[in-house]
């Protein structure tokens, strides 16, 4: 009996020590790492550094240990492209410009950036990109000729091929994506989810070979409404946020959650803050309970899977990425910062 009691006590201690702690942030410390007169909407954590790209052709890295900053300028003839999408593999860094012409660069064999894809046209506008693995990646843009613009690489980014409209669901007129934070595309395993201006979610389970599309209840009546950002904690639990950047306090039908891999969505905190946000991310190791959303209106936080929210800071940012369960990096107008949540 004595041994049974001891086993029960040990089991309780073990269970408590291995329980996932519910995050409960009450404040955030903002440490500015880089300042310049730029609009920075694309950042990427990669092997001890933070990669970024911005307007005016500017791109660079920040060493997260030494805080050393390296920047460069990429020109295309006389143009200084505006980069709003970046991605990386274990060997290469990629950046993609918005508007016409679309310019996709990768690190070249001689250390400079190499142009690997171009596309011209009045309606060309690319929004975000990501890689499934070191060989296969995807970039998305606004619809043309009746379907979203989706390009895919299968050879590590050396070549990119655009999917034809026969391979994709039909797009409503004007459907596109927001190039606000490089977070309206999420990849996991062989899967990808894409959030659009029409508040629809495109889904592939086989790295872009086949596609389905699902409607969400997020408002999208105006061109400035729709899904601005998405994240998936795992293959089932997803979160999406939108709003209207021209009316950022409006908080009606701008947040939704999915528990079935993006097939169905339910509104969250309807008619409650936060309103418009351009980026949303799950807190790592929080079982999906911790969520942070940022925008030019500030930093908001939920510790109960998006049911309730509170404002942690009025500091404005466009995009962010978590490094661990309490440290993230964010970028926005004229700056990049380290966010420490407490």
For the cut 90, the answer to whether the pLDDT of residue 2 exceeds it is no
pLDDT of residue 110: 74
Q: For the segment 183-231, what is each residue's pLDDT rounded down to a tens digit?
A: 999 999 999 999 999 999 999 999 999 999 999 999 999 999 999 999 9
The total number of residues written for the chain in this structure: 342
pLDDT mean over 2-12: 44
For the cut 60, the answer to whether the pLDDT of residue 12 exceeds it is no
Output the six-digit token pair for 277.
Answer: 């946000």
Taking the C-alpha atoms of residue 19 and residue 188, their distance in angstroms, rounded to an integer, is 25
Closest by CA to 164, choosing from 99, 216, 209, is 209
Closest by CA to 242, choosing from 223, 228, 252, is 228
Output the six-digit token pair for 306.
Answer: 């998006």
What is the pLDDT confidence band of residue 109, given thresholds at 50, 70 and 90? confident
For the cut 60, the answer to whether the pLDDT of residue 127 exceeds it is yes
What is the pLDDT confidence band of residue 22, given thresholds at 50, 70 and 90? low
Chain-wide mean pLDDT for the chain? 94
For the cut 70, the answer to whether the pLDDT of residue 18 exceeds it is no
Taking the C-alpha atoms of residue 230 and residue 238, their distance in angstroms, rounded to an integer, is 7
Q: What is the 3-state secondary structure (H, E, C) of the chain?
A: CHHHHHHHHHHHHHHHHCCCCCCCCCCEEEEEEEEEEEEEEEEEEECCEEEEEECCCEEEEEECCCCCEEEEECCECCECCCEEEEEECCCCEEEEECCCCEEEEEECCCCCEEEEEEECCCCCCEEEEEECCCCCEEEEEEEECCEEEEEEECCCCCCCEECCHHHCCCCCCCCCCCCCCCCCEEEECCEEEEECCCCEEEEECCCCCCCEEEECCCCCCCCCCCEEEEEECCCCCEEEEECCCCCCCCCCCCEEEECCCCCCCEECCCCCCCCCCCEEEECCCCCCCCEEEEECCEEEEECCCCCCCEEEECCCCCEEEECCCCEEEEEEEEEEEEEEEC
pLDDT mean over 334-339: 98
Q: 23-55 b/e with 16+ CB inside 10 Å = b?
A: bebeebeeeebbeeebbbbbbbebeebbbbbbb
Which range, of 19-28, 257-266, 304-313, averages the lowest pLDDT?
Answer: 19-28
* Cβ–Cβ under 8 Å, residues 39 and 333: yes
pLDDT mean over 264-274: 97
pTM value? 0.92
Give me the torsion for CA of 152, 321, 229, 178, rounded to 10°.
-60
Indicate the domain borders of the chain.
Answer: 26-341
Taking the C-alpha atoms of residue 40 and residue 181, their distance in angstroms, rounded to an integer, is 9
The domain made up of 26-341 has a fold known as Methylamine Dehydrogenase; Chain H (2.130.10)
Taking the C-alpha atoms of residue 240 and residue 265, their distance in angstroms, rounded to an integer, is 9
pLDDT of residue 21: 55
Q: For the segment 286-318, what is each residue's pLDDT rounded down to a tens digit?
A: 999 999 999 999 999 999 999 999 999 999 999
Q: For the segment 274-285, what is each residue's pLDDT rounded down to a tens digit?
A: 999 999 999 999
pLDDT of residue 9: 43
Taking the C-alpha atoms of residue 330 and residue 60, their distance in angstroms, rounded to an integer, is 15
pLDDT of residue 23: 67
* Cβ–Cβ under 8 Å, residues 147 and 129: no
pLDDT mean over 124-147: 97
Closest by CA to 128, choosing from 37, 196, 214, 215, is 196
For the cut 90, the answer to whether the pLDDT of residue 20 exceeds it is no
What is the pLDDT confidence band of residue 120, given thresholds at 50, 70 and 90? very high
- Report the Cα–Cα distance between both ends of the chain, in Å, rounded: 44
For the cut 80, the answer to whether the pLDDT of residue 55 exceeds it is yes
pLDDT of residue 86: 98
For the cut 70, the answer to whether the pLDDT of residue 11 exceeds it is no
What is the pLDDT confidence band of residue 76, given thresholds at 50, 70 and 90? very high
Which range, of 40-54, 107-121, 306-320, averages the lowest pLDDT?
Answer: 107-121
Closest by CA to 241, choosing from 145, 141, 144, 320, is 320
């Amino acid at each position: 009996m004595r041994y049974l009691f001891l086993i029960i006590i040990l089991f309780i201690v073990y269970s408590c020590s291995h329980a996932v702690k519910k995050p409960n942030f009450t404040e955030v410390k903002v440490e500015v790492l880089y300042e310049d007169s730029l609009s920075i909407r694309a950042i990427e954590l990669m092997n001890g550094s933070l990669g970024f790209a911005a307007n005016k052709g500017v791109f660079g890295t920040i060493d997260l240990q030494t805080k050393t900053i390296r920047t460069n300028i990429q020109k295309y003839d006389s143009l200084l492209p505006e980069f709003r999408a970046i991605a990386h593999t274990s060997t290469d860094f990629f950046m993609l410009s918005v508007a016409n012409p679309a310019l996709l660069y990768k690190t070249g064999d001689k250390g400079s950036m190499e142009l690997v894809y171009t596309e011209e046209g009045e309606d060309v506008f690319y929004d975000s990109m990501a890689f499934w693995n070191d060989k296969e990646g995807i970039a998305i843009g606004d619809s043309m000729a009746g379907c979203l613009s989706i390009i895919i690489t299968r050879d590590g980014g050396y070549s990119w091929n655009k999917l034809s409209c026969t391979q994709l669901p039909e797009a409503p007129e004007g459907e596109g994506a927001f190039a606000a934070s490089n977070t309206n595309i999420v990849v996991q395993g062989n899967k990808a989810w894409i959030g659009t201006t029409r508040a629809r979610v495109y889904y592939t389970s086989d790295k872009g070979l086949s596609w389905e599309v699902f409607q969400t209840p997020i408002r999208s009546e105006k061109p400035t409404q729709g899904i601005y950002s998405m994240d998936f904690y795992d293959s089932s639990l997803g979160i999406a946020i939108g709003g209207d950047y021209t009316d950022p306090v409006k908080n009606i039908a701008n947040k939704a959650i999915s528990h079935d891999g993006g097939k169905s969505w339910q509104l969250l905190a309807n008619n409650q803050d936060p309103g418009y946000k351009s980026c949303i991310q799950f807190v790592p190791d929080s079982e999906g309970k911790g969520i942070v959303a940022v925008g030019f209106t500030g930093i908001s936080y939920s510790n109960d899977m998006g049911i309730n929210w509170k404002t942690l800071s009025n500091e404005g940012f466009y995009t962010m990425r978590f490094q661990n369960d309490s440290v993230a990096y964010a970028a926005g107008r004229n700056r990049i910062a380290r966010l420490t949540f407490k």
